[in-house]
Amino acid sequence: MKPSETMLRYFEDLASGVEARLASDPGPFRARKVFALEVARLGVRLFTGDRPVAWCGVLAPFDLLGAMGVTPCFVEFVGAQLAARKGAAA
């Protein structure tokens, strides 16, 4: 399995898990769960290949790119996700 497929599966699993958790028990940490869901959805958009991706720095117009149908991503985001799942060493 290619690394991009592994990351896509990771984000899809994360999104479905958070959606299920929100549906069953939103609980007191709803804002945190909604944020985690948006992070997972961003990850899915990055690795599906359906939309163009712009690798951005912190000064990029993130919202403007999103409105144009481009998935904006900070390079640090992917690095943090790889580090969180210990995928950078693989």
Quick one: which of 88, 59, 86 has its CA closest to 72?
A: 59
Phi-psi region of 26 (alpha: psi -120 to 50; beta: other; left: phi over 0): alpha
Report pLDDT for 5: 85
Tens of pLDDT along the chain (90 residues) come to: 676 788 889 889 999 999 999 999 877 778 888 888 988 998 898 888 888 988 887 788 888 888 898 888 877 777 776 677 665 555
pTM value is 0.70
- Per-residue model confidence (pLDDT) at position 74: 79
Cβ neighbours of residue 65 closer than 8 Å, sequence gap 6 or more: 54, 56, 71, 72
Residues in Cβ contact with 33 at an 8 Å cutoff, skipping those fewer than 6 apart: 18, 21, 22, 26, 27
